[in-house]
Amino acid sequence: MKYTFSVAFMALCLSTALFAQNTASRLWMDNLEELAMEGEDLSFDEDDLEELTLRLQAPLDMNTATRRQLEQFPFLSDLQVENIQAYIYTHGPMKTLYELQLVEGMDRRTIEWLEPFVRVDTVGGGKPRRFPSLRAVLKYGRHEVLTRLDVPFYRRKGYEHDYLGPPLYHSLRYAFRYGDYVQAGVTGEKDAGEPFLALHERKGYDHYSYYLLLRHWGRLETLALGTYRLDYGQGLVLGNGFGLGKSFSLATSRYREGGIRKHGSTDEYNYFRGAAAQVRVAKGVHASAFYSHRRLDGVVEDGMIASIYKTGLHRTQAEADKKHAFALQMAGGNLTYENTLLPLRVGLTGIYYFFDRPYRPDLRTYAQYNMQGNRFYNVGLNYRYRLGALSLTGEAALGKHGYALLNRLEYDLSAGTRLLLVHRLYTHDYWALFAHAFAEGSAPQNENGWYLAAETAPWARWRLFASLDFFSFPWWRYRISKPSQGWEGRFQATWTPSAQLVVFANYRYKRKERDVTGTGGEVILPTHHHKVRWRADWRPDAAWRLCTTADYNHFHSQGLRGSQGWQCTQLCAYTLPWFPLGCAVQCTYFHTDDYDARVYAYEPGLLYTFYTPSFSGRGFRLSARLRYDFGETLMLMAKLGQTVYTDRQEISSGRDLIAGNKKLDLQVQLRLKF
């Protein structure tokens, strides 16, 4: 228990802290946490968190902001974006952000979310700036170097014979930026257990990404060289970015169409490598083209690809043999027409991609309609149309096999009251390797569903949210040996008595069907999953933050004994007002009967990272994070966390087995800006 006492002692000595967050970033984090609880892969959201942080540091000028730039804020509806631009067009450039209160359809809550990310430039007079000269870019551009080191104070079984490198994780990132015009950078990463400058990693890091991104250069709106990401329409063809999907807020339910964006994160799978460009062909007409060539990890047997390996881990010789086993090429384009008077946007996206050898995975019955072959294509037509307070958004896509449809109907009844209806129809044989869209499953395939949600603020300090989602799966799925169906209901009440305190309580019920373990699919029963969460987030001033979270889960299959789990988390944060030091201390106690009743607890992490671990069994976790800023140039952050299980003497299994019931980790991050 000495490590536990060391963490607690640090917590008491350093008090508690977390540099103050604004309401908009709090909204973002709450919904990221909800998606993590749904099993969404958030590993590729590092760039989005970085952009969010940079936008807070360099707010967008409201007087020169384009429609697409405003649409990247998910809490702004189509009507609100249009009303903002109409106000500036009618009354001229804004003189102060207080004028947002005069924009039709802007409620107090939305203004609070938007204010940290925007500003009003009265010097520029609302005129768009021209692309800067090379001299200005080199003179006024900002550099950032970010490095991270993770040190585990325990030993996994794999290090006895199999893992070829030290148990340290390390990454190094360099980024250069001149406003929104020029971005460039390179990232290197080594996972724990991978060798460095040795064996199969003689070039140093296991993974490198590099990029150059230019924007607003005359008719050339975007040019990306190196690693990049693509997002068009509703993600049925290209959804290489981050869509928020189902959550407890309509403010973050919309898929953000980002177009061409850089990839500078440590994610080793969700990106393209090559070149992409977008040009303005005529007023309201934009054309994009892109090409990518990448080598992917996987298993090749008898000249065919047997599996695609997505983890990016190369710790053992067997994993190293999978590295860059085959090549994938992709080419395509997008053509978008936008008419702000109607208002209407229509886009056509097409891609063609192929492997350098046939992809023939060994598919089980539930996956027999999954992708196979070596040449594929996807074509999608997306649209957005607004008629008064009514907004229609959707996309229809075709693949080599099957098709996918997604349509959204959104209605703004009044400021603060919004209705949403979403229908999706994804055939069981729709193949789309790069798609990421609104779905109950992990991919837009084998699903049909209707989602209805409503959000309102009936009183000044209250917000209510409710949603129903009815879904069905025409073909088998993992652990379901027949076509199945289910539904989900959510409700949340949020009380904000002041700008310093936010309290909410939510409830979620989900009914799905699943094979009974041990019956080989002969017995299939409905499962019922209840989740309740209560949270109080109090920030009495710029220095303090206290956040209490309590969860309760109950899971059972119909007619069988159920399981339950609960957790309680307390976060305390404080930033010294007279010294640039902040610290956050968090304690979580959890108690669950099994994995089905597992609980999740968001934990403040390092810069540009998001950490929501899951817990099953019984135990507790303590963590403490320190941040020290040496002026605006240097930042040092360290986080120490320990998990203690009280119901076992071993943690995990296989090569990841830890002999003992404790896990203690240290993470250190250093950032240099100049």
What totals of helices (H) and strands (E) does the chain contain, helices first?
A: 9, 32
CA 63 from centre of chain: 29
Q: Rounded to 5 degrees, what are φ and ψ at 400? A: -60, -35
User: What's residue 29's pLDDT?
Assistant: 62
- The verdict on residue 66 lying in a domain is yes
Local structure of 292: helix, strand or coil: strand
**Which of the two residues, 256 and 660, has the higher pLDDT score?**
660
Q: What is the pLDDT of residues 551-566, one digit of tens each?
A: 999 999 988 899 999 9
Angle separating helix axes 46-57 and 23-37, nearest 10 degrees: 170
pLDDT at residue 570 greater than cutoff 50: yes
User: What's residue 343's pLDDT?
Assistant: 87
**DSSP summary character for residue 59:** P
Q: CA–CA distance from 114 to each of 61, 175, 186, 318 (Å)?
A: 12, 26, 31, 49
Same domain, 8 and 84: no
Q: What is the pLDDT of residues 479-534, one digit of tens each?
A: 899 999 999 999 999 999 988 899 999 999 999 999 988 888 888 999 999 999 99
The pLDDT-based confidence of 199 (bands split at 50, 70, 90) is: confident
Q: CA–CA distance from 211 to each of 182, 205, 231, 263, 283 (Å)?
A: 11, 17, 17, 7, 29
Same domain, 73 and 15: no
Phi-psi region of 439 (alpha: psi -120 to 50; beta: other; left: phi over 0): beta
Same domain, 2 and 68: no
Same domain, 16 and 86: no
Same domain, 73 and 1: no
Same domain, 580 and 628: yes
Same domain, 76 and 3: no
pLDDT at residue 18 greater than cutoff 50: no
- The verdict on residue 533 lying in a domain is no
Q: Which of 207, 208, 270 is nearest to 48 (CA)?
A: 270
Q: What is the pLDDT of residues 125-160, one digit of tens each?
A: 556 668 899 999 999 999 999 999 999 999 999 999
Q: What is the pLDDT of residues 63-85, one digit of tens each?
A: 888 887 887 777 787 788 888 98
- The verdict on residue 114 lying in a domain is yes
- The verdict on residue 416 lying in a domain is no
User: What's residue 13's pLDDT?
Assistant: 34
- The verdict on residue 464 lying in a domain is no
The pLDDT-based confidence of 279 (bands split at 50, 70, 90) is: very high
- The verdict on residue 305 lying in a domain is no
* DSSP one-letter string for 303-328: TEEEEEE-S----SHHHHHTTT-EEE
Q: What is the pLDDT of residues 355-413, one digit of tens each?
A: 999 999 989 888 999 999 999 999 999 999 989 889 999 999 999 999 999 999 999 88
The pLDDT-based confidence of 111 (bands split at 50, 70, 90) is: confident
The pLDDT-based confidence of 16 (bands split at 50, 70, 90) is: very low
Extract the tokens encoding 490. Answer: 């959510």
- The verdict on residue 4 lying in a domain is yes
User: What's residue 221's pLDDT?
Assistant: 95
Whether 138 contacts 178, CB under 8 Å = no
Same domain, 551 and 623: yes
What residues make up the domain containing 630?
1-20+539-634
Q: What is the pTM of this model?
A: 0.90
User: What's residue 341's pLDDT?
Assistant: 82
**Which of the two residues, 227 and 19, has the higher pLDDT score?**
227
Same domain, 563 and 626: yes
The pLDDT-based confidence of 41 (bands split at 50, 70, 90) is: low
- Distance CA(382)–CA(399), nearest Å, equals 15
- The verdict on residue 404 lying in a domain is no
User: What's residue 6's pLDDT?
Assistant: 36
The pLDDT-based confidence of 286 (bands split at 50, 70, 90) is: very high
User: What's residue 104's pLDDT?
Assistant: 86
Same domain, 552 and 630: yes
User: What's residue 34's pLDDT?
Assistant: 67
The pLDDT-based confidence of 243 (bands split at 50, 70, 90) is: low
User: What's residue 126's pLDDT?
Assistant: 59
Residues ≥6 apart with Cβ < 8 Å to 216:
128, 131, 180, 181
The pLDDT-based confidence of 2 (bands split at 50, 70, 90) is: very low
pLDDT at residue 45 greater than cutoff 90: no
Same domain, 15 and 69: no
The number of domains in the chain is 2
* Residue 109 belongs to domain with CATH number: 1.10.150.320
The pLDDT-based confidence of 1 (bands split at 50, 70, 90) is: very low
pLDDT at residue 418 greater than cutoff 70: yes
Q: Which of 292, 290, 295 is nearest to 273 (CA)?
A: 292
Same domain, 74 and 2: no
